[in-house]
Chain A
């Protein structure tokens, strides 16, 4: 069974600094996908970034990048130049291999990030 581990329940970062949110995963599959979502206090889940297991380069989307270390089974999210609006809950998730039905996601328990002045 797949498992996602986020060991940091909460993190603080100063505005304009970079922050890394940890995510490790456990799977016996060779083909998989990793996602990061942001959940502000309002509740909606916002997709941030995706990394495929066969992607050779780390994914980047604006201020978000994914530090993908396949041998260590880690997929850490790096947010550069933090802004107050980055304060939110962040979830790491893994997509199960397509089995002919819907591609399900397994989520970690999340990390609450607080950006301070």
Chain B
């Protein structure tokens, strides 16, 4: 089974702090994704990566950056955390497969609170 592991289930940080959310997958997937989930808004894509050191902006990249130094690890960085970044963050991965029906596999999520 595919395993996507997020480093923390719950995290509390203060405004202005630099926050790192880590995600590791064990299935050698090329694609990795970061979403945030807010009530009534569903999942919104922040950033994604299709290869090591490659990254592309999603729909809501402002205030975030990412790092992919190794294929299995994709980090989300909040450069200077703000209260409006309090949310549930979900990491996902999928294989590189053109036109295929491959689902994305998700981690358990990190509930981040910025005080």
Interface residues of A (CB under 8 A from B): 4, 9, 31, 33, 35, 37, 42-47, 50, 52, 91, 93, 97-98, 101-105, 107-110
In the complex, which range does the number of interface residues on chain B fall in?
20 to 34
Among residues of A, the one whose C-beta sits closest to the C-beta of B93 is A102
Q: Count A-B contacts at CB 8 Å.
A: 64
Among residues of B, the one whose C-beta sits closest to the C-beta of A59 is B101
A residues less than 8 Å from B12 (CB atoms): none
A109 to B107, CA, bound (A): 19
Among residues of B, the one whose C-beta sits closest to the C-beta of A100 is B98
Q: Chain A nearest CB: distance from B106 CB in Å?
A: 4
Query: If the complex has contacts A101-B50, A102-B31, are A109 and B41 also in contact, measured as CB distance less than 8 A?
Result: yes
Query: If the complex has contacts A31-B99, A47-B105, A50-B103, are A102 and B49 also in contact, measured as CB distance less than 8 A?
Result: yes
Does B79 make an interface contact (CB < 8 A)?
no
- A43 contact from B56, B88, B92, Cβ within 8 A: B88
Given A46-B106, A91-B43, A98-B99, 9 new contacts (CB under 8 A): A43-B9, A43-B111, A45-B106, A45-B109, A47-B105, A102-B31, A102-B96, A109-B40, A110-B42
Q: Among residues 87 to 115 in chain B, which have CB atoms less than 8 Å away from a CB atom of chain A?
A: 88, 90, 92, 94, 96-99, 101-109, 111
